[in-house]
Every structure is written in C-alpha cells, then in structure tokens.
Structure 1
Amino acid sequence: MELNKAVLDCMKALRRQLRDEQALDIRLSQPDAINAMLSACLSSDNDDTRQLGMRLAQLSETPFSFEPAAPTPRMQAGHPLLVEPAPAHHTGSVRIYRGQRVYA
C-alpha cells in the first residue's frame, strides 16, 4: 500500500487522538502502524477516534469493522500455547523458551 498525503494526515491525527485518549505511542514508521491504530480504535469509546479509524481504513483499503468478532475457542489444558502456572514449590520466575517453560 502506498502512503499518500491523505493517509499520512489521517494517521497523524489518529496518532494524536490515541496518545491523548489511551496513552498509546504508535510511530508512523512502524511496519504495523495502521493495524495498531485500527486495533486501538476498536477499543475506543470516543466517536471521533472511531470516525478517524474508519477514515483510515477507507484510505488504506484495510478491512475494519466495529462488530464484535466471533468468540475465540478457549485453550484446553495441555495446549502448547497455554502458559500454565509454575509448580507450588517453585518461587522463581517462569519464561517460555521454544514453547517450553523455563524456571529461572
């Protein structure tokens, strides 16, 4: 997608709005700046922010909808992406490395 003046102006206005409203700092140089801005607009209660989000979606030809998404399936115990609590006898920190829990 090509960033033209209209898209950049909309992004600047939306960036300012999101910084004031949600204390988000989204840089225009980020590769996912448009998606990050649109995601933040979805969680906004401000009509101006939502209007700017819809405008940015139109200008950038990115799909954007305020309807709730379909519910995501809950992860069952043992799912590889589910981080389970550390054993009770362990008091250190837990990290995930290559899908495995590492107790530090």
Structure 2
Amino acid sequence: MTITTPNDTAYLSAENGFTVFQYGKLRIRFRAPYSLERYTDVKQWDNGYLVVDAQYKQNTVPEEEYIDLEPILNDLYINANSFMQPIKKVKIAHD
C-alpha cells in the first residue's frame, strides 16, 4: 500500500501480525498482539504516544490501547524527537 502523506500526518495500521507506523517514506513495523485484527480509531497523539482503539479477534467491541513510539525509534537508532516533531496527527490507514 502506498500512502501520500501530507507533511503533518502519519498513518497507523495492522498488517500480518505487525503494527505499522508510516510517516513520509519511513515505514516502521513492530510485533503486534497475536489477536489484533485492526486499529479502528486514533484517540490521541502526543509526540510519540498514541491512544488508539483496537479490534481483537476475541472481543466484539474495540479496546483502548497505548503505543509509545519513542523506545521503538530509539532502538532503531532514529532520533525520536526529530522524527516526531513535524507530526501533528495520526490517522488509521485503510487498505
């Protein structure tokens, strides 16, 4: 999937057992819970900290989840502050 990104928008999705965070040309994948089907809503973006609703196989209603991108970016030797600074919003990527 190719996403055209406005300069201030990043995208979140679930794909083949991974969470995918995409901003510009950078696409970061990290292991997601085994039963995650998809993300349904981004409730909050706070400079690398996400509050999202996620749909799981074992539950009929979405559950609130939390994702902290800073340690993930740091483990990838990406300067988290520089990378996240221009991002003003995060949307769910739809196939």
Q: In which range does the TM-score fall when normalised by the shorter chain?
A: under 0.3
For normalisation by structure 1, the TM-score amounts to: 0.24
The TM-score normalised by the length of structure 2 is 0.25
**Larger relative helix fraction:** 1
Higher relative contact order (CA 8 A, sep 6+): 2
Q: Which has the higher strand share?
A: 2
